[in-house]
A = this chain, B = another copy of it.
Amino acid sequence: MTKTFYPPHRVLMGPGPSDVSPRVLEALGRPTIGHLDPAFIGLMDDIKRLLQYAFQTENELTLPVSAPGSAGMEAVFVNLVQAGDKVIVCQNGAFGGRMKENVERCGGTAVMVSSEWGAAVDPGKVEEALLANPDAVAVAFVHAETSTGVRSDAKSLAALAHQHDCLAIVDAVTSLGGIELKVDEWEIDAIYSGTQKCLSCVPGISPVSFSPRAVERIKSRRERVQSWFLDMNLIMDYWGSGQKRSYHHTAPVNAMYALHEALSILEEEGLEQSWARHAQHHHTLVEGLEAMGLQMAVAKESRLPQLNAVKVPEGVDETAIRNALLSDWNLEIGAGLGPLAGQIWRIGLMGHSADATHVRLLMAALQDVLP
């Protein structure tokens, strides 16, 4: 017979999931109710309002997709991109490449604007691409590149997109809750995130939001959305206002309890305070790492506080250090991806993991395991 699974007690300081608050875990395990229960409808209304707060938006179409961030990404692209559409896709890490995949699988053409892994998206290059492709319908970029720890200037990039009559599509998987993000003020048209980063909720759900302009685009599509599961025309009726909801799919009820609690914690702290907390502990971490002789991989002005890319010192076995942190300290940090594999570690200070205790623990652990 299979034994029950008791997870080891890890400290999560990688690229996500981050440490989940006991409050969220407790909410997660409450008894399941039906997805059409009147009490659940009330919960959905709360979640929608709390997500609007987290995204700083009044977008009516703001909801959690019932699947992880990659499905949130896909939800945005399958709804907004039609066969033949041209989309400017900015790539400065792993997730821009995934956007390209999505555009192409929707039958669209991705015009790539590539920057080095570890650098921010260059607005000058984006403008060039927009001038060279006046028929582009959207500009897509990653606000906080999880693979490199780089912040791009979402406000400027969105403004640029609008100057050229394009929708602004933003990957906010790692940014939501961790750094400044203002969907309405910055006029972002479509955005998706994940629950397991700076919201410190369990993985598996992807908050999304669409501007009225994006909704207009979705409603006036020439062809049906290729995904039934992610078709916002159908999901709108399930996550719409009021008590009348059309059944679409069975919502992941318990995950919604958890998301509700995680968003409530964010509301209690205040969004600006959360951003400030991430910045504060990031500064302490960087000071500590540099005092140990380690170097940050990303230029100061582009660093994400919630995801710190640190150069692996010459002669140090990258994997051995991560393994030692995990086995001796139960502490998880992340490896580099793609061209940065073996070159960097990724240290997350996300949500519940962004506090002084985590920073101190990491410093002590690194001092212990580094040669």
Contact = CB atoms under 8 A, between A and B. Distances in A.
A69 interface: yes
Interface residues of A, number: 83
Contact of A7 (B12, B31, B252, B332): B31
A198 to B, nearest CB: 14
A55 interface: no
Nearest to A194: B250
A49 to B, nearest CB: 8
Interface in A1-55: 1-10, 12, 14, 16-17, 19-20, 23, 25-35, 37-40, 43, 46, 49-50
B20 A25 contact: no
A211 interface: no
A332 B74 contact: no
A310 to B, nearest CB: 18
Nearest to A107: B226
A303 to B, nearest CB: 23
Contact of A28 (B74, B224, B250, B254): B254
B2 A46 contact: yes
Contacts of A30: 5-7, 25
A1 to B, nearest CB: 6
A101 B30 CA distance: 35
Interface stretch (A212-220, A259-267, A284-292): A259-267
Contacts of A202: 32, 252-255
A70 B228 contact: yes
A332 B37 contact: yes
Contacts of A7: 30-33, 39-40, 257
Contacts of A5: 27, 30, 43, 46, 257, 260-261
B4 A33 contact: no
A71 interface: yes
Given A105-B226, A203-B253, A264-B4, A33 B46 contact: no
Contacts of A251: 68, 203-204
Contacts of A248: 70
Interface of A: 1-10, 12, 14, 16-17, 19-20, 23, 25-35, 37-40, 43, 46, 49-50, 66-71, 73-74, 78, 98, 101-102, 104-106, 194, 196, 202-205, 224-229, 247-255, 257-258, 260-261, 263-264, 267-268, 326, 332, 337
30 contacts: A2-B50, A2-B260, A2-B263, A4-B23, A7-B31, A8-B33, A8-B39, A10-B34, A12-B33, A14-B34, A16-B250, A17-B33, A17-B250, A17-B253, A19-B32, A25-B29, A25-B31, A25-B254, A66-B67, A67-B67, A69-B250, A71-B229, A73-B229, A74-B228, A78-B227, A102-B228, A104-B224, A105-B224, A105-B226, A203-B253
Q: Which 8 A-B pairs have the closest CB atoms?
A: A204-B252, A29-B29, A67-B67, A70-B249, A202-B254, A2-B264, A203-B250, A20-B32
